[in-house]
Amino acid sequence: MHIPFPELAASARVVSLPLRTRFRGIDVREAMLLRGPAGWTEFSPFVEYGDEEAAAWLRAAIDFGWSDHPGTGSVRVNATLPVVSVDRVPELLARFPGTRTVKVKVADPASTVAEDAARVGAVRRAIGPEGRIRVDANGAWTVDEAEHAIHAFAEHDLEYVEQPCATLDELAEIRRRVKYMGVPIAADESVRKAADPLAVVAAEAADILVLKVQPLGGIRAALRIAGQAGLPVVVSSALETSVGIAMGAHLAAQLGTEEYDAGLGTAALLAADVTSSPLLPRDGAIEVRRVEPDEDLIERHTAPPERQLWWMQRLERCAALVGE
């Protein structure tokens, strides 16, 4: 669907939200909010992404804001643990009440495998033997490094390892190497950053697909990928505001995935949000609903003028790409 730039720009608001803990190398999350006929939506590709990649995020924003999508009830979510010291693990997990699953970020340049393993162990002690632990390396390891790390974490009974390596060949190789251990491999970047999101399936490089609705171009596009993949899927967020997380919650509700908890609890990582009713985890789940931002919160967290201009120019360029 093509929406002319002036119509998009008419409601566009740019916010800058502080994070509770440094995450993905940033301390502040910038996002653009748009209001369509169906409600508020979000356009928030990370600032380093080029226009071609960012245009998919705009397609998702238009799909959600200019179309009705069914969704009620709630979806179970995981806790997300950034790269922090072991002593901070209980404090951060307390922000995700009732969650049974924790995704632990690993393979950060500032963290060794031993430190990652200690953090994973602290999570296991915190959530007990019945809890689920998944780790996410964001493609940072070589195959040999991934194999070494997975062995180091093995005693903590991993649910799966997300994007241990960057390329499809590497993913396929590490999947073969650790198959005997019963540790599934999940693909994230190899889905959302690929020209063909299903190439990872053809390469037999993953057991699970991680679907992030904005990078994949919207709910409809993500549903098509899930339907064609024939693999279990996990719906996850891209560190959005509650408006963007609502988009992911509607996708998860339509997919009806219950085997794996969704990675949609990340509003808990924000020190501020755009609504007084954020989609925070409660009893291990978030609601499936559209989010109405509060004007006073938007005003309080409005980005500086130069950043507003930057985002508006980006919106105009991406709108032209979507319209092609």
Residues making up the binding site for Mg(2+):
136, 162, 188
Q: Is 105 a catalytic residue?
A: yes
- Alpha-carbon dihedral sign for residues 162, 280, 252, 39: negative
Between CA 273 and CA 271 the distance in angstroms is 7
Between CA 53 and CA 56 the distance in angstroms is 6
Q: Is 179 a catalytic residue?
A: no
Please tell me which residue in 103, 179, 193, 212 is annotated as part of the active site: 212
b/e map of 124-150 (b: 16 or more CB within 10 Å)?
A: bebbeeebbbbbbbbbbbebebbbebb
* Residues making up the binding site: 136, 162, 188
| Sequence-ordered strand ranges (E) for the chain | 13-23, 26-36, 39-43, 74-76, 79-81, 101-105, 132-136, 158-162, 185-187, 208-212, 233-236, 285-287
Between CA 130 and CA 289 the distance in angstroms is 30
Q: Are 266 and 237 in contact (CB under 8 A)?
A: yes
Q: Looking up tokens 């940072």, which residue turns up?
A: 140
Amino acid present at 174: I
Please tell me which residue in 103, 105, 179, 193 is annotated as part of the active site: 105
Helices (H) and strands (E) in the chain, counts: 12, 12
The DSSP secondary-structure symbol of 282 reads B
Residues with active-site annotation: 105, 212
